[in-house]
């Protein structure tokens, strides 16, 4: 993982975390698919400490503890966490990473 990047957490993400009384953001990269389908990586942002913190790099930003998966390929100079509200709730998205697709 590229270690020379900055982290930005949008105010809407911070407000959402405060509302939920959470101070942890975890970015996990997992692989899905396989068999007859191609595999690809997906990113998932949660508000909980990971089960295996040794597989993550730990950062502090805006009174938030961030666990960033060591599998994360940061391709931009900024890792940017944004907030998107949808019909059934809300999602925290991350920009500035590369996800692989394998055929």
- Here the contacts of 47-51 (C-beta below 8 Å, separation 24 or greater) are 47/17, 47/20, 47/22, 47/92, 48/22, 48/24, 49/24, 50/26
Instruction: Give the range of the structural domain holding residue 72, as residue numbers without chain letter.
Output: 6-33+40-102
38-92 pLDDT tens trace: 767 888 999 999 999 999 999 999 899 999 999 898 999 999 999 999 888 889 9
Please tell me the total count of domains within the chain: 1
Task: Report d(CA 95, CA 23) in Å as an integer.
Answer: 20
- Here the contacts of 84-91 (C-beta below 8 Å, separation 24 or greater) are 90/16, 91/45
Task: With respect to residue 1, please indicate whether it lies within any of the assigned structural domains.
Answer: no
Task: With respect to residue 66, please indicate whether it lies within any of the assigned structural domains.
Answer: yes
State pTM to two decimals. Answer: 0.85
Task: Report d(CA 30, CA 5) in Å as an integer.
Answer: 22
pLDDT of residue 95: 94
The domain that contains 10 carries what CATH number? Answer: 2.60.300
């Amino acid at each position: 993982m590229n270690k020379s990047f900055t982290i930005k957490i949008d105010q809407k993400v911070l407000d959402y975390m405060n509302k939920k009384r959470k101070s942890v953001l975890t970015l996990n990269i997992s692989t899905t698919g396989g068999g007859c389908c191609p595999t690809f990586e997906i990113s998932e942002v949660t508000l909980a400490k990971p089960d295996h913190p040794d597989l993550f790099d730990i950062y502090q930003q805006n009174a938030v503890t961030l666990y960033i998966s060591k599998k994360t390929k940061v391709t931009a100079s900024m890792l940017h966490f944004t907030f998107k509200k949808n019909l059934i709730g809300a999602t925290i998205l991350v920009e500035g990473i590369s996800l692989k697709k394998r055929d």
